[in-house]
């Protein structure tokens, strides 16, 4: 189902979260942080502690200041009640809502709402904004026009209604025009669930500009004109009175208009600066992505920078691996939730390819993702998933997840889409560089390390072993009578034998060892932290594995030379020379054996 903003909305009815679960998530950290900030501003830090004590929440301040934290309906009422008692203010909930713009809370949400451009668009997206505060009640748009909207607030969890929620919602709704430098909205609340109604309804009206002031000026002028006319006919003294009234009234209207324009200019300036900041953050993130071509670093940055560019939500980066999707990087999402995301991405692969960004407003409506809202300690309620597309191919999916349902605003989804497009380019470039580096470091026939890569690994390992004061072993290994195999069966057959030898070496060495093809049928093995005995055992295992490589009418054998030393006593070149000398000794002794060497290149000791 496509939405008006052009973002694909998907989801099939699945397992619903229970009413009890919604009751436990009736308040978000945005609300609790606003309450704490308001009480602190009005009465100081000690008042906050008194409030928490009265609410039975002593020691919970850090958790309540976390905007991603959710708490129960009972906890929310306890907070409001305690705030009312401490401040001795029965209208505290409405006052908290009305001052939300003045407090340093939910700054990202305020920027996103202001970016929508007009109060009407903000009110139209109020359903999404409400889900950032409350999962126990739903807010729906019933009717709307240019400067008026009626909304219905409905209990969806069985907790009922309370005047605190009514007052808080009224306060928040009134602030929306102030995002744009307009006067607060007028909010009427005639139908109230807390006073016996079936639900709550809020009728909101706001000024769209200077039209109200213009009407006031015309009304004042008309009234003064009528007064002057009456005075001219009856009491001439009223004529100068009418003129004075007109001048004073028009002056008052002018002052109000000037103040209005000053507010508008301040807000416009703020919007420009916020948009500049958002663009700068996105540009900085994209530049950082493009500045590094190492695959691991690029993958790390895609997830980390997404939080800076798009907002403080949870993120998961899924990479396409054949027909499967694999969660590669994430911001701490539980394992079971990642598995559900992988399954969902695989199911919707074609949708992501064809239609682009997908928004799932309520994860409980999707049978694959329904477990995420119930996953503690990280209940996730909605998702915006942007594909990483490059040349019509799907490289992966970047998923932003939020802690409430129906929370992603059009601007947030568009920002994630733009970021994902650039991330796909960075990922494609990094993969190309990674592939070229692997090709430059691999033997083209066997896939083992080549000489260049082997010497590079030796340099790095000797540096590490020198610091750790550990021993290193190097093995040189050569196939016996391999020329005869090539002469008898041909070089293509010999290549197949070399591939079998490479597989035998891979299965014989340890995970951190390096096996390389040095040329022809000669191989080398770098064995970190391996003394002579360990090295001999590994070589023995490798030689036995090579003997099992099938060769027509023959048994394949090999000879090996092993040397072990501390990097403080010998360099990689010297140790390779010692291992090579031991290899030739093995050949001279009749092949199909291992010879070890210790000492130095000028004074070797062969065993």
Say yes or no: 353 and 482 in one domain: no
The whole-angstrom separation of Cα 69 and Cα 87 is 25
pLDDT in the model for residue 372? 85
Q: Which residue has the higher pLDDT, 134 or 171?
A: 171
Residue 283 covered by a domain: no
Q: What is the mean pLDDT of residues 374-393?
A: 83
Query: What would the pLDDT profile of 473-529 be if each residue is shown by its tens digit?
Result: 999 999 998 999 998 899 999 999 999 999 999 999 998 999 999 999 999 999 999
Residue 2 covered by a domain: no
Number of domains in the chain: 4
Q: Is 110 exposed, middle or buried (0-12, 13-18, 19+ CB in 10 A)?
A: middle
Cβ atoms of 9 and 359 closer than 8 Å: yes
User: How far is CA 22 from its chain centroid?
Assistant: 25
Please report, for residues 64, 144, 213, 220, 245, the alpha-carbon distance to residue 225 in angstroms, rounded to integers and kept in the order given: 60, 37, 18, 8, 10
Q: Is the pLDDT of residue 343 over 90?
A: yes
Residue 358 maps to which CATH number? Answer: 3.30.450.40
Beta bridge partners of 596: 562
Domain final residue, candidates 440, 467, 498: 440
Say yes or no: 186 and 222 in one domain: no
Say yes or no: 73 and 197 in one domain: yes
Residue 395 covered by a domain: yes
Say yes or no: 326 and 198 in one domain: no
- Least confident range from 90-99, 177-186, 191-200: namely 177-186
Say yes or no: 230 and 325 in one domain: no
Q: Is the pLDDT of residue 93 over 90?
A: yes
* Helix (H) or strand (E) segment spanning residue 555: strand 554-555
The whole-angstrom separation of Cα 399 and Cα 313 is 10
Q: What is the mean pLDDT of residues 3-17?
A: 38
Domain final residue, candidates 420, 440, 460: 440
Say yes or no: 194 and 230 in one domain: no
pLDDT in the model for residue 496? 94
- Least confident range from 111-125, 238-252, 530-544: namely 238-252
pLDDT in the model for residue 421? 85
The whole-angstrom separation of Cα 606 and Cα 595 is 7
Q: What is the mean pLDDT of residues 443-463?
A: 90
Instruction: Find the helix packing angle between 45-54 and 29-43, rounded to 10°.
Output: 130
Say yes or no: 138 and 184 in one domain: yes
Show Cβ contacts of residue 334 under 8 Å, excluding neighbours closer than 6 positions.
375, 378
Residue 281 covered by a domain: no
Domain final residue, candidates 440, 473, 499: 440
pLDDT in the model for residue 262? 54
What percent of the chain is helix, strand and coil (3-state, nearest 5)? 55, 20, 25
pLDDT in the model for residue 238? 44
Say yes or no: 129 and 246 in one domain: no
pLDDT in the model for residue 74? 94
**Residue % of the chain over a pLDDT of 70:** 78
Say yes or no: 177 and 264 in one domain: no
Residue 231 token pair: 């005075």
**Residue % of the chain over a pLDDT of 90:** 39
Query: What would the pLDDT profile of 33-65 be if each residue is shown by its tens digit?
Result: 999 999 999 999 999 999 999 999 998 999 999
Q: Is the pLDDT of residue 286 over 60?
A: no
pLDDT-derived band of residue 239, with 50, 70 and 90 as boundaries? Answer: very low
- Least confident range from 38-42, 185-189, 344-348, 380-384: namely 380-384
Q: Which residue has the higher pLDDT, 148 or 438?
A: 148
The whole-angstrom separation of Cα 509 and Cα 473 is 12
pLDDT-derived band of residue 240, with 50, 70 and 90 as boundaries? Answer: low
Query: 481 — phi, psi (to 5°)?
Result: 55, 40
Task: Please state, as a whole number, how many other Cβ atoms lie within 10 Å of the Cβ of residue 225.
Answer: 12
Residue 456 maps to which CATH number? Answer: 3.30.70.270
358-360 vs 382-390, strand pairing mode: antiparallel
* Helix (H) or strand (E) segment spanning residue 478: strand 472-479
Query: What would the pLDDT profile of 60-80 be if each residue is shown by its tens digit?
Result: 999 999 877 888 999 999 999
Residue 310 covered by a domain: no
Residue 128 maps to which CATH number? Answer: 3.90.1520.10
Residue 592 covered by a domain: yes
Query: What torsion do the CA atoms of 289, 292, 293, 297 make, to the nearest 10 degrees?
Result: -80
Residue 434 covered by a domain: yes
Cα of first residue to Cα of last residue in the chain, in angstroms, is 76
pLDDT-derived band of residue 308, with 50, 70 and 90 as boundaries? Answer: low
Residue 43 domain boundaries: 8-205
Cβ atoms of 307 and 281 closer than 8 Å: no
Q: What is the mean pLDDT of residues 199-215?
A: 74
Say yes or no: 36 and 185 in one domain: yes
Say yes or no: 195 and 70 in one domain: yes
Q: Is the pLDDT of residue 555 over 50?
A: yes
Query: 599 — phi, psi (to 5°)?
Result: 105, -140
pLDDT in the model for residue 298? 72
Q: Which residue has the higher pLDDT, 319 or 101?
A: 319
Place of tokens 């594909």: 387
Say yes or no: 120 and 69 in one domain: yes
Residue 169 token pair: 């919602």
The whole-angstrom separation of Cα 571 and Cα 459 is 9
Cβ atoms of 305 and 315 closer than 8 Å: no
pLDDT in the model for residue 191? 94
pLDDT in the model for residue 478? 94
Q: What is the mean pLDDT of residues 252-271?
A: 52
pLDDT-derived band of residue 543, with 50, 70 and 90 as boundaries? Answer: very high
Sheet holding 8-9, edge to edge: 8-9, 358-360, 382-390, 393-402, 314-321, 324-330
Residue 120 covered by a domain: yes
pLDDT in the model for residue 43? 94
pLDDT in the model for residue 289? 53
Q: Is the pLDDT of residue 171 over 80?
A: yes
pLDDT in the model for residue 57? 93
- Least confident range from 35-44, 125-134, 423-432, 462-471: namely 125-134
pLDDT in the model for residue 416? 87
Q: Which residue has the higher pLDDT, 282 or 90?
A: 90
Q: Is the pLDDT of residue 440 over 60?
A: yes
472-479 vs 558-565, strand pairing mode: antiparallel
Q: What is the mean pLDDT of residues 419-442?
A: 80
pLDDT in the model for residue 253? 44
Please report, for residues 103, 141, 330, 498, the alpha-carbon distance to residue 107 in angstroms, rounded to integers and kept in the order given: 9, 25, 24, 63
Mean pLDDT computed over every residue of the chain: 80
- Least confident range from 193-202, 257-266, 579-588: namely 257-266
């Amino acid at each position: 189902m496509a939405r008006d903003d052009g973002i694909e909305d998907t989801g099939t009815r699945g397992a619903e979260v229970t009413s009890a679960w919604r009751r436990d998530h009736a308040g978000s950290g945005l609300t609790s942080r606003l309450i704490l900030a308001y009480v602190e501003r009005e009465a100081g830090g000690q008042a906050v502690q008194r409030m928490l004590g009265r609410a039975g929440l002593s020691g919970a301040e850090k958790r309540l200041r976390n905007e991603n934290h959710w708490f129960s309906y009972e906890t929310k009422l306890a907070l409001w009640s305690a705030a009312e008692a401490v401040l001795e203010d029965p209208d505290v909930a409405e006052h908290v809502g009305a001052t939300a713009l003045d407090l340093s809370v939910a700054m990202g949400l305020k920027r996103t709402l202001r970016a929508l451009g007009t109060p009407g668009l903000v009110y139209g997206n109020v359903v999404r904004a409400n889900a950032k505060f409350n999962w126990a009640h739903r807010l729906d748009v019933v009717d709307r026009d240019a400067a008026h909207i009626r909304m219905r607030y409905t209990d969806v969890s069985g907790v009922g209604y309370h005047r605190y929620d009514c007052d808080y919602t009224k306060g928040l709704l009134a602030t929306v025009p102030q995002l744009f430098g307009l006067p607060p909205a007028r909010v009427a609340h005639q139908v109230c669930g807390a006073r016996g109604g079936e639900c709550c309804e809020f009728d909101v009206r706001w000024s769209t500009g200077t039209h109200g002031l213009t009407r006031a000026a015309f009304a004042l002028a008309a009234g003064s004109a009528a007064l002057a006319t009456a005075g001219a006919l009856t009491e001439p003294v009223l004529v100068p009175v009418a003129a004075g009234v007109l001048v004073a009234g028009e002056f008052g209207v002018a002052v109000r208009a000037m103040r209005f324009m000053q507010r508008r200019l301040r807000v416009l300036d703020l919007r420009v600066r916020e948009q500049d900041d958002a663009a700068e953050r996105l540009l900085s993130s994209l530049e950082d992505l493009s500045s590094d071509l190492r695959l691991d670093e690029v993958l790390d940055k895609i997830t980390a920078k997404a939080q800076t560019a798009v907002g403080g939500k949870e993120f998961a980066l899924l990479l396409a691996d054949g027909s499967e999707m694999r969660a590669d990087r994430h911001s701490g999402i539980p394992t079971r939730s990642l598995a559900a995301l992988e399954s969902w991405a695989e199911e919707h692969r074609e949708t992501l390819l064809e239609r682009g960004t997908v928004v799932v407003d309520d994860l409980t409506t999707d049978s694959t993702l329904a477990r995420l809202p119930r996953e503690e300690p990280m209940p996730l309620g909605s998702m915006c998933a942007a594909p990483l597309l490059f040349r019509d191919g799907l490289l992966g999916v970047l998923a932003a997840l939020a802690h409430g349902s129906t929370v992603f605003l059009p601007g947030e989804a568009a920002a994630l889409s733009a970021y994902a497009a650039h991330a796909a380019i960075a990922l494609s470039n990094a993969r190309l560089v990674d592939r070229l580096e692997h090709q430059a470091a691999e033997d083209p026939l066997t896939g083992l390390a080549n000489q260049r890569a082997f010497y590079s690994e030796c340099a790095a390992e000797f540096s590490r072993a020198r610091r750790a004061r550990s021993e290193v072993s190097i093995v040189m290994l050569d196939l016996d009578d391999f020329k005869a195999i090539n002469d008898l069966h041909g070089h293509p057959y010999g290549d197949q034998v070399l591939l079998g030898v490479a597989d035998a070496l891979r299965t014989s060495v340890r995970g951190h060892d390096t096996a390389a093809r040095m040329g022809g049928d000669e191989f080398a093995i770098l064995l970190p932290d391996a003394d002579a005995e360990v090295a001999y055992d590994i070589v023995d295992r490798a030689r036995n594995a090579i003997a099992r490589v099938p060769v027509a009418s023959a048994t394949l054998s090999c000879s090996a030379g092993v040397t072990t030393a501390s990097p403080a006593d010998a360099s990689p070149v010297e140790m390779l020379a010692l291992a090579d000398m031991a290899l030739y000794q093995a050949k001279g002794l009749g092949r199909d054996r291992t010879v070890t060497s210790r000492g130095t290149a000028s004074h070797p000791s062969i065993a």
